[in-house]
Amino acid sequence: MTEKTVIPFQGTPEQEAQLKEVIAKHHDQPGGLMPTLQEAQGIYGYLPIEVQKMIADGLGVSLSEVFGVATFYSQFSLTPKGKHRISVCLGTACYVKGSDKILEAVEAKLGIKSGECTADGMFSIDSCRCVGACGLAPVMLVDEDVYGKLKPEQVAKILDSYK
């Protein structure tokens, strides 16, 4: 069993000041939790527990409510994303063309699983259901770059080009 890499939270005083402004803006607004979470993720890039606690305290709601909303909606991430975001399509066309093997190759190369970030913060991996490039299956995205008709043996060279 591999040990999961934990990247410590490293918020700045500037980010905290921005978050406090966001909380103040939405404090008395009905349904203010959702826009607060969206703006907080824009500030930090994800929603670590420390940020969730600040939001709960600031809005006067329970931490469980904040966590419940943050985990219910797929737009929110509780884990940091890397400088380079990798997404492997696991939609039907890509999957039948071997995208599961592409994902395995990415995970093996980086030593992390889907949903995780490398310890150096360079790469994070996610899977998605469709990127709309079915004719290029299997497809992997690195940031905004699309790689199609991939074979697992091509993955290492592609990822090395981002280091």
Dihedral through CA 78, CA 82, CA 84, CA 87, nearest 10? -30
Surface-to-core class of residue 126, CB atoms within 10 Å of its CB (0-12 exposed, 13-18 middle, 19+ buried): middle
State how far the alpha carbon of 160 is from the alpha carbons of 25, 80, 129, 145, in Å: 43, 21, 25, 14
In order, the DSSP letters of 7-55 are PPP---HHHHHHHHHHHHHHTTSTTTHHHHHHHHHHHHSS--HHHHHHH
**Is 128 annotated as contributing to ligand binding?**
no
In Å, how far from its chain's centre is CA 161? 21
Tokens of 102: 């592409």
Q: What are the binding residues for [2Fe-2S] cluster?
A: 89, 94, 130, 134
Q: What are the binding residues?
A: 89, 94, 130, 134
